[in-house]
Structure 1
Amino acid sequence: MAARRAFRFSAMAEGSNVGPETLDELHQEVRRLAAAYPQLPLAPLLGDLVEIQDLSFRFLEHGHVRPGQARELYLLSAITSGMLAKASHDLGDPRSAMTQARTAYVCADNADHHAMRAWVRGLQSLIAYWDGRHQEASKYAALGISQVAGVTGTSAVWLSCLQARAGAALGDVAAVRESLAEAERARDAASPDDLDEFGGIMTFPVPRQLYYAADATAWLPDGPEAQQQAEAAVTAYRQAEPEEWAFGDQAGAHTDLALARIHAGSLDGVDEAMRPVLDLSAGQRINGIVASVRQVHTALRDPRWLTAPEARTTREEIEAFTAAPVAALPR
């Protein structure tokens, strides 16, 4: 708390001019929050995100900034607004999420940052997908893909994976295959850019790519392929480097594995796949995880499983889990 107070004082003490110390501190804070976002519950991050966005906006609105500083501030504002869009999405508020995402895009545009524009389109695709607006999710992914010419970082991989997932939800099997193949080509061509250097939510590592592939193939009728993809994603997160680990995407990989096993006609291994998800604390029960868990509940309501004791037990646990999402916690 003392460090936060000191940072705010030093930022204000430099007056209307944005000094190098303040700009460097803002940059370090955004980097810290980007790295922490996929790994920590939302509650300890939300206040800092709001404060950093507010400071960045104040400097842009009232400060005396040179053109190079303005571009940097707009980029930092874009990233922070993007994280707050993800936070609203995680809290189950897609309307606020899209508002923050549009602000992030305006900031990316003012920074004239090509990769950041594409990244925000990916974020909009993600928000629309989990809100059940799959056609819109596909549209945003396509908009992002149209902007990745010359982008070397992993956001290009993310956009192709988003397109694959939206295509799967729409039942376009050919689009899924082509988009996943394009994601592989983008991975082979990728080299880290300045967004990847922020780490965390701003980069798209291999385990996350495998999870998206599992998410896409979970919609397809080929059960064995879905299981293979989900098992690969679960293994990748089990073996991931610390900086590549993300509790939300790991949970998604586990629910995909449970779904694949159910759709293949067996309850064997379903509880094993779901256990790490159902053991998550209430503070980690973000919107995407809750939605994925509900998909498992729906699958277990198939007439084949209605009287199966293990299916009944899992359904009851899922109902208890989804009754206390992070959005229900006091903030």
Structure 2
Amino acid sequence: MAARRAKAFALTANQGNLTGEVMEQIHEDVRQLATDYPQRPLSELLGDLVQTQETLYTLLDSRQRPEQARQLYFLTGVTSGLLAKASHDLADPHAAMTQARAAYLCAENADHNGLRAWIRGLQALIAYWAGRLHESVKYAQSGAEFAALSHSTTSVWLPISEARAWAALGNVNQTHAAIRRAEDAWNEVRSDEVDELGGLCSFGRTRQIYYAADALAWLPSEAGTAQDYAAQAVDVYADTSGPEWAFGDAAGSRADLAIARIHLGQLEGADEAVSPILELAPENRINGIINSAMRVHKALSRSPLAPSGSELQERIEMFTRTPLRSLPR
């Protein structure tokens, strides 16, 4: 409480004339939110996210020097992007896209290619989980030009996101082509201002492996490769102290491993893979995790293993009855 009061004083003491110390504080607040987002329940962060966005909007309403205004637009764009992800996690794609559009407007005002590319990645993600797969492809492709200019890790994120959408559409050739483009993109990657915030703002090797597994799990003919990618991601995400650890991606990797094993006829292995997901507390049951669990359910329904897997399906159904969005806010 004392730290919040000190920050509020610093923001108002100079009547909108932002000092270097104040700008540093705002930047640190946004960096902390980006770092914490993949690793902490949304209920612990949402209040700070909303407050930070409101503070940034207020500062932008005041007259600022051009360089300060550019930095404020950049930080507002990142914060709005994090809130787009929050709305997505609460299964509200309309609100998520509204926040993303506001974030993209900030990226335009900041004239920041890395931020433009990152927002396009978020829009591709939101559309993918909402089942708007061609739209997801469009967003991923439209961000590629900005990613190439920024040389950020979005150069990898965008094509591997495109691969997931193509796979969900059943297009094997486009899936493999996008996976190869993502791997090749590492040759040109250099961290930019977005990457340096860390957490949700940067895309690392482990997330790439998880996304590849998530894509190939859609394709029964690729079950062996999907299992390899997913098992590798599960192993890395087992270390909860790792800098890339994210509870959502860890759960998604396990769901992909379960789906691959179902395609390979391994019911016991699928149960082993998915069981830790079903133990997650309701505050961690974000939209992507609920959807991933239901993908396991659907894969089992379409498999010859279905009669033997009814107990696992019932457990998944019980799990999905209390998603994060059902909790009081």
What's the offset of the Cα at 1:286? 0.2
Is 2:17 the partner of 1:17? yes
| 2:285 alignment counterpart | 285
Moved over 4 A (4+): none
How many residues in Structure 1 have an aligned counterpart in Structure 2? 328
How much has 1:24 moved relative to structure 2? 1.1
2:201 is aligned with 1:199: no
Aligned identity (percent) is 50
SS at match of 1:283: helix
Structure 1 distance, partners of 2:306, 2:68, is 61
AA aligned opposite 2:179? L
Measure the CA separation in 1 of the matches of 2:17 and 2:239: 47
**Does the alignment pair 1:41 with 2:41?**
yes
State the Cα deviation string for residues 86-129 of structure 1 (Å, max 9, x = none): 00000000000000000000001100001100110111010000
**In structure 2, what is the Cα distance between the partners aligned to 1:148 and 1:24?**
26
Partner of 2:4: 4
CA contact (8 A) 1:155 1:204 kept: yes
Instruction: Specify the code of the residue in structure 1 equivalent to 2:293.
Output: V
**Map of 2:118 onto structure 1:** 119
Equivalent residue in structure 2 for 1:322, among 315, 320, 323: 320
Mean Cα displacement is larger for which, 238-247 or 28-37? 238-247
Aligned to 1:106: 105
Q: Which residue does 1:231 correspond to in 2?
A: 231
1:76-225 alignment runs, 5 A limit = 76-220=75-219, 221-225=221-225
Q: Which 10-residue stretch deviates more, 164-173 or 35-44?
A: 164-173
CA distance in 2, matches of 1:145, 1:83: 20
Secondary structure in 2 matching 1:204: coil
**Is the Cα–Cα contact under 8 Å of residues 153 and 193 in structure 1 kept in the other structure?**
yes
C-alpha distance 277-137 of structure 1, shift in aligned 2 (>3 A) = same
One-letter identity of the residue aligned with 1:108? A
Does residue 1:274 correspond to 2:274, yes or no?
yes
Mapped to 2, the partners of 1:109 and 1:231 lie a distance apart of 40
Change (3 A) 1:304 1:174: closer
2:160, 2:211 within 8 Å by CA — same for their partners in 1? yes
Whether the 8 Å contact between 2:262 and 2:303 is mirrored in structure 1 is: no
CA offsets, 1:214-266, max 9 Å, x none?
01111122221121121122123225762210110010000000000011122
Deviates more, 1:316-325 or 1:295-304: 295-304
User: CA separation in 1, counterparts of 2:297 and 2:186?
Assistant: 34
Q: 3-state SS of the aligned residue for 1:222?
A: helix
Q: Are 1:300 and 2:300 matched, yes or no?
A: yes
Task: Tell me the amino acid that sits aligned with residue 9 of structure 2.
Answer: F
CA distance in 1, matches of 2:313, 2:240: 30
State the TM-score, normalized to the length of structure 1.
0.96
SS of the counterpart of 2:131?
coil
> What SS does the aligned partner of 1:265 have?
coil
Cα distance in 2 for residues equivalent to 1:164 and 1:233: 17
RMSD: 1.3
Deviates more, 1:224-233 or 1:26-35: 224-233
Question: For the residues of structure 2 that align with 1:194 and 1:317, how far apart are their CA atoms?
Answer: 43
> What CA distance in whole angstroms lies between the structure 2 residues aligned with 1:258 and 1:131?
22
CA contact (8 A) 1:75 1:111 kept: yes
TM-score normalised by L of structure 2 = 0.96
User: Is residue 263–residue 303 contact of structure 2 (8 Å, CA) maintained in 1?
Assistant: no
Contact 2:285 2:324 in 1 (8 A): yes
| Contact kept? 1:78, 1:104, Cα under 8 Å | yes
Q: Which amino acid in structure 2 is aligned with residue 145 of structure 1?
A: A
Other-structure match for 1:312: 310
The residue aligned with 1:243 is 243
Cα separation, 2, equivalents of 1:303 and 1:209: 28
AA partner of residue 184 (structure 2): R
Q: Is the contact between residue 18 and residue 64 of structure 1 (CA under 8 Å) also seen in structure 2?
A: no
Q: Which 10-residue stretch deviates more, 102-111 or 234-243? A: 234-243
Structure 2 letter corresponding to 1:304: P
The corresponding residue for 1:70 is: 69
SS in 2 for 1:242: coil
Aligned partners of 1:207 and 1:240 also within 8 Å: no
Using the TM superposition, give the Cα deviation of residue 207 of structure 1 relative to its aligned residue in structure 2, in angstroms: 0.7
Q: Work out the CA distance in 2 between the residues paired with 1:51 and 1:240.
A: 28
